[in-house]
Amino acid sequence: MKTYFAGIDIGSTTIKIVLVDADEQQVGDLITPSGSHFRRNTTTAFQALLDRHGIKRQEVEGVVATGYGRKLFREADDVVSEISANAVGARKLGEPHDSVRTIINIGGQDLKVIALDENGNVINFVMNDKCAAGTGRFLEMTARNLEMEVDELGFCHALATGAPLTINSTCTVFAESEIISLLAHGHGKAEVVAGIHYSIARRVGRLAKRLGIHGAVFFDGGPALNSGLVEALEDELMQPLLVPEAPQITTAFGAALLAMDFCRAAGE
């Protein structure tokens, strides 16, 4: 019987689940809104992923939960912090490139910068979880005010000409007022989007500089799909970023790898 391991990242806005096999190869993933019933929605999503791939629950040897709602999913064998799971996932995905020493993760309601040592161990991190500025929620607010979808922001950014507008507010509520004011004064949507992206980049840059940037920088979380934000961050940090193909599931992938490690350690 084949053996599988699951990582479940229960975030404030979305649930991400990744299945890996005994060779550390990803065999499936699923992303779904968290909703208001974290445990029920996670259970439903997990079963749906298993059904999709024809995997029985007893074939999943270990399950590790992480993220905002990790303690609510009592069916998990272990729970770990998203910092630890993110580090493991980013380190593994970054193996084909330069050694990952810095991780930028932007989630629905927080952003984190994580520093790793040469062996991939977390040595320090900083995060902004007091305000939604610079997070996925912030980008959703921007898109709403500009009457577009979040996944259109990167394309809109590419249409900007000249220097991006300066967005001074770091609070989501005040930034929203500032965006509305800029539009009322005749500024184009593309310039406003670019201004927002560079505002976020400066915020992330300040956090990153507190830790010091070493080695390759890995960028994950849903907002890493935004090409305009990637461009702004690369300009701010003055170096290219490693962005995985599916940046939303890096932390869940790391949790799945940890599930495998925990099972193997228990069997020794």
- Report the phi/psi class of residue 120: left, alpha or beta, with left for phi > 0 and alpha for psi in -120 to 50: left
Q: DSSP state, 226?
A: -
Q: Report the C-alpha gap between 151 and 140 in whole angstroms.
A: 10
Asked if residue 125 lies in contact with residue 83, where contact means CB atoms within 8 angstroms, the answer is yes
Comparing 12 with 40, which gets the higher pLDDT? 40
Location of structure tokens 């977390």: 122
Domains and CATH numbers, the chain: 1-94+246-268 (3.30.420.40), 99-243 (3.30.420.40)
Q: Which helix (H) or strand (E) holds 17?
A: strand 14-21
How do residues 203-240 score in pLDDT, each as one tens digit?
899 889 889 888 899 999 999 999 999 999 999 999 99
Q: Number of helices and strands (H, E) in the chain?
A: 8, 10
Residue 53 pLDDT class (50, 70, 90 cuts): very high
Ordered strands of the 122-128 beta sheet: 122-128, 111-116, 100-106, 216-220, 241-242
Residue 184 CB partners (closer than 8 Å, separation 6+): none
DSSP symbols for 48-59: HHHHHTT--GGG
Location of structure tokens 């404030």: 12
How do residues 71-130 score in pLDDT, each as one tens digit?
999 999 999 999 999 999 999 999 887 789 999 999 888 889 999 998 889 999 998 855
